[in-house]
Amino acid sequence: MQQVLIGFDWENFMKSAHTNRTVLPSVQTPAPFSRIGDGSIITLFDKTPPPDGPDDVVCPHFIELKWANGCNFDCAWCYLNGTFRFRPMGKNPYMKDLERVKGDLRQFFSSVSNPSLLNSGELSDSLVFESNGSALSKLIIPMFKAQDRHKLLIVTKSANVSKVLNTQSQERVVVSFSINAEKVARKWEKKAPAPSARLKAARKLHDAGYKIRIRLDPIVPIEGWEKEYKAIIDAIFRNLKPERITLGSLRGLQSTINFSEDKSWTEYLDDRSNWGKKISFDKRYEIYDAIIEYLWDTYRFDKISLCKETVRMWERLSLDYKHMKCNCMP
């Protein structure tokens, strides 16, 4: 029977990084889930290796439900620009074969015993098809409701949540909204709903009993950034108190940069990591430090994580990445 590794066995994970050998899980540790079938529908996202040095990026592995690909929101820095660069239709969204998706989900539900969270929005916006017959709320959520072990993670910038609300799936669905400062969204997230609309949708779900997570990402150091991001934080807490907030600064893989039509955002990138180009370390630290301090001083909120950040940054901020709980984790 396949098992799911919930979070990480960080001790063994780090040992493997420093000894250059595979460390098998202990008897008490479930074997990590790998994939269902060929992994084209359900697989473990494990592209980031264990951090071996201070400048390595930390990104715990999570389970992907790749039921659809693509997105219509056309954010300037979208990594799908690079990921789908060889597809004739680019990042135009499409759903995979429904019977294949359902079959792999049924196999996952029957063979994986440890409660797990499946991310439905890594290669698409989870709610990309809510206006048509391929809606996640119609085809996928009912399957999660029909069992009582695993949960579905919705990752979205959409404000179209009425059908999700109608599913009454509070016990089986967690929703993560990607939010940005209003000025940043207007300039580089032009086809996505305004952050205020996303927060209104998040509030509806929150008030109905859904667990809501916020991803404030990518943070861009525009002129007046501190005022802009404090304003969006205030807007978040006027609407709801999220379960978690994950912070991420602007970054770009080289393939993303190469295939982005609007490259104006790349002017802020002047540092490199094993996850592409980033804002300089000192500026990133300044941003994170200000936002974390504001979240605590103003709202006494400390359920905070970082997305694809270096070990050096975690340590500079006095945060423990070995016990992180980012939006993608159970």
H or E element, residue 145: helix 141-145
Query: What is the residue-averaged pLDDT of the chain?
Result: 89
Answer whether residue 23 shows pLDDT above 80: no
Tell me phi and psi for residue 216, to 5 degrees. -90, 95
Q: What percent of the chain has pLDDT over 70?
A: 90
**What pLDDT does residue 272 have?**
85
In the chain, what is the greatest distance between 2 CA atoms, to the nearest angstrom? 54
What is the tens place of the pLDDT at every residue in 106-150? 999 999 999 999 999 999 999 999 999 999 999 999 999 999 999
Q: Is the dihedral of CA 232, 235, 237, 239 positive or negative?
A: negative
The residue among 159, 306, 303, 325 whose CA lies nearest residue 237 is 303
Answer whether residue 82 shows pLDDT above 50: yes
**What pLDDT does residue 31 have?**
54
- What span, in angstroms and rounded, lies between the C-alpha atoms of 96 and 104? 12
Q: Write down the pTM of the prediction.
A: 0.89
Answer whether residue 300 shows pLDDT above 90: yes
Averaged pLDDT for residues 278-305: 98
What is the tens place of the pLDDT at every residue in 241-290? 999 999 999 999 898 999 999 999 999 999 887 778 999 999 999 999 99
**What pLDDT does residue 275 have?**
76
Tell me phi and psi for residue 171, to 5 degrees. -80, -15
Question: Domains (ranges, CATH) in the chain?
Answer: 10-323 (3.80.30.30)
Confidence tier at 27 by pLDDT (50, 70, 90): very low
